[in-house]
Amino acid sequence: MANTFKLKTDTDVTTSSGMSSVYTVPGSTTAVVIGCTLANTGAAAITADVKITTNASVGENGDDVYIVKGAPIATGGALEVMSGNKIVLQTADILKVKSSAATSLDVAISVMEIT
């Protein structure tokens, strides 16, 4: 088994097309999310959502869940969503982000992929 640390980013997250997919777990891989930081790059306060969309449709991980929903981020501020927690994702699970205002949110996610 190989462990590889990776950084996944998305800039100017928009709201027009729903949630933005920031990270999708590759095939034959398990991923551990070890950090998720959201930064408000806009001119006003915003709210942000982070959601996990699972590849499974039934079973113990068959539900899509929010990590945070409607979290306020002040102008020029940032939010560390994980705060020391870790989340395990399976193959084809997706981590998605949404901002309450267009082109106002940057996202940085740290993951460890296990292959």
The dihedral region occupied by 61, where left means phi > 0, alpha psi between -120 and 50, and beta the remainder, is alpha
Answer for the pair 81, 96: CB distance below 8 angstroms, yes or no. no
Which pLDDT score, from 0 to 100, does residue 96 have?
A: 95
The pTM score is 0.91
pLDDT in tens, 61-104: 778 999 999 999 999 999 999 888 999 999 999 999 999 999 99
Q: Is the pLDDT of residue 16 over 70?
A: no
The distance in angstroms from the start CA to the end CA of the chain is 5
**Residue 28 is which amino acid?**
S
* Mean pLDDT for the chain overall: 93
Which pLDDT score, from 0 to 100, does residue 110 have?
A: 97
Which pLDDT score, from 0 to 100, does residue 57 have?
A: 73
Beta strand ranges found along 11-104 (DSSP E): 20-24, 30-40, 46-53, 65-73, 78-80, 87-89, 94-99
Rounded distance between C-alpha atoms, residue 100 and residue 45, angstroms: 9
Could you give all domains of the chain from N- to C-terminal order, each with its CATH number?
A: 3-114 (2.60.120.340)
- Phi–psi pair at 93, nearest 5 degrees: -70, 150
Which pLDDT score, from 0 to 100, does residue 14 have?
A: 76
**Residue 110 is which amino acid?**
S
pLDDT band for 15, please (50, 70, 90 cuts): confident
